[in-house]
């Protein structure tokens, strides 16, 4: 889907409106100046050639990356940091799984520090945790992880998919439970816009429920048939969503496409180009 005139105009006025709205808005506006990439998008080529992949990502124009997948947790993090420093890349956040946080917390903190991250994001919860009782136990751990990370000088955020919003047999959604039982001063949200829309949610309504509490967006587009595609080739109106960046307090915009077609670089280039127009 090509970007229509309304989208271009909305993107063109985004920064001015954000700066006029106050400090949170200025944070969001500055964040959009540095478009990021969730490296899970290019996990196959990253696993084979991490430094070369970072070089290609930087050449496209990305200035931030978020580590996730591709076996990054077992790599030489000092070498990755050295490459990022050379390329002008930063990694504000990294994805770390629930079991790793529960069992290898100190290693996760050390990894974040070496890579220069300020926040650890929990990216996924297995199906065994999705029943209400198990989820409630996990939420207590989220608060515990976040408190320990704060003591270590790091933040914590949870990344949604679609399952958190699904309701069965009249039960409260897992997302509503998350919002009710988390400590909002410690547990932020990394809002995946695709998965929210996929679950039938209105992203702007979610943002209004979470003022100043959205650490980052995962920005991926959706075809009319519900599949993932590069930003600008689908039906999600990001320009409209981004008018609430000041409300969200969002600090990072990570392009992601879990299903990006090989050789991956054209897909992430198209997404970068679209977001660059929105920030113009």
* Residue 120 resides in a domain: yes
Domain range for 113 is: 5-212+224-278
pLDDT for 19: 33
Strands (E), 12-147: 35-38, 64-67, 90-95, 119-122
Q: pLDDT band for position 32 (50/70/90)?
A: low
Q: pLDDT band for position 24 (50/70/90)?
A: very low
Please name which of 98, 168, 108 lies closest in space to residue 139, comparing C-alpha atoms. Answer: 98
Mean pLDDT of the chain: 90
* Residue 107 resides in a domain: yes
* Residue 196 resides in a domain: yes
Please name which of 93, 101, 95, 156 lies closest in space to residue 129, comparing C-alpha atoms. Answer: 101
Mean pLDDT for 260-270 is: 98
Quick: pLDDT tens for 207-216: 999 999 999 9
Residue 106, classed as helix, strand or coil, is: helix
* Residue 186 resides in a domain: yes
CATH of the domain at 54: 3.20.20.150
* Residue 217 resides in a domain: no
Confidence check: pLDDT of 254 > 60: yes
Quick: pLDDT tens for 60-109: 999 999 999 999 999 999 999 999 999 999 999 999 999 999 999 999 99
Q: pLDDT band for position 29 (50/70/90)?
A: low
Mean pLDDT for 160-173 is: 91
* Residue 116 resides in a domain: yes
Higher pLDDT, 19 or 235: 235
Least confident stretch, 25-29, 71-75, 112-116? 25-29
Least confident stretch, 28-32, 114-118, 149-153? 28-32
* Residue 100 resides in a domain: yes
Give CA separation, 267 vs 30, 127, 182, 193, 231, in Å.
Answer: 24, 30, 35, 18, 9
- CA–CA separation, 123 and 94 (whole Å): 9
Please name which of 241, 157, 167 lies closest in space to residue 203, comparing C-alpha atoms. Answer: 241
Mean pLDDT for 37-65 is: 98
CB 40 within 8 A of CB 73: no
Strands (E), 72-180: 90-95, 119-122, 155-159
pLDDT for 278: 85
């Amino acid at each position: 889907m090509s970007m229509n005139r309304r989208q271009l105009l909305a993107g063109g006025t985004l920064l001015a409106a954000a700066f006029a709205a106050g400090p949170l808005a200025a944070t969001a506006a500055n964040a959009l100046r540095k478009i990021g990439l969730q490296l899970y998008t290019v996990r196959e080529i990253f696993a084979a050639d991490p430094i070369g992949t970072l070089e290609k990502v930087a050449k496209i124009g990305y200035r931030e990356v978020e580590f996730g997948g591709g076996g990054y947790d077992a790599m030489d993090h000092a070498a990755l940091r050295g490459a990022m420093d050379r390329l002008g890349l930063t990694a504000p956040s990294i994805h770390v799984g629930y079991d790793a946080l529960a069992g290898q917390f100190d290693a996760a903190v050390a990894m974040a520090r070496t890579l220069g991250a300020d926040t650890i994001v929990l990216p996924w919860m297995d199906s065994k945790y999705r029943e209400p009782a198990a989820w409630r136990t996990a939420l207590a751990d989220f608060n515990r992880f976040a408190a320990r990370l704060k003591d270590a000088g790091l933040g914590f955020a949870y990344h949604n998919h679609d399952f958190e919003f699904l309701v069965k047999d009249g039960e409260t959604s897992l997302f509503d439970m998350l919002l009710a039982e988390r400590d909002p001063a410690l547990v932020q949200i990394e809002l995946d816009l695709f998965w929210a829309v996929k679950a039938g949610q209105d992203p702007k309504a979610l943002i209004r429920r979470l003022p100043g509490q959205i650490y980052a967006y995962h920005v991926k587009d959706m075809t009319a048939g519900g599949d993932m595609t590069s930003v600008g080739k689908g039906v999600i109106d990001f320009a409209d969503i981004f008018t609430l960046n000041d409300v969200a307090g969002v600090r990072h915009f990570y392009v992601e496409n879990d299903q990006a077609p090989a050789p991956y670089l054209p897909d992430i280039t198209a997404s970068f180009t679209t977001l660059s127009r929105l920030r113009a």
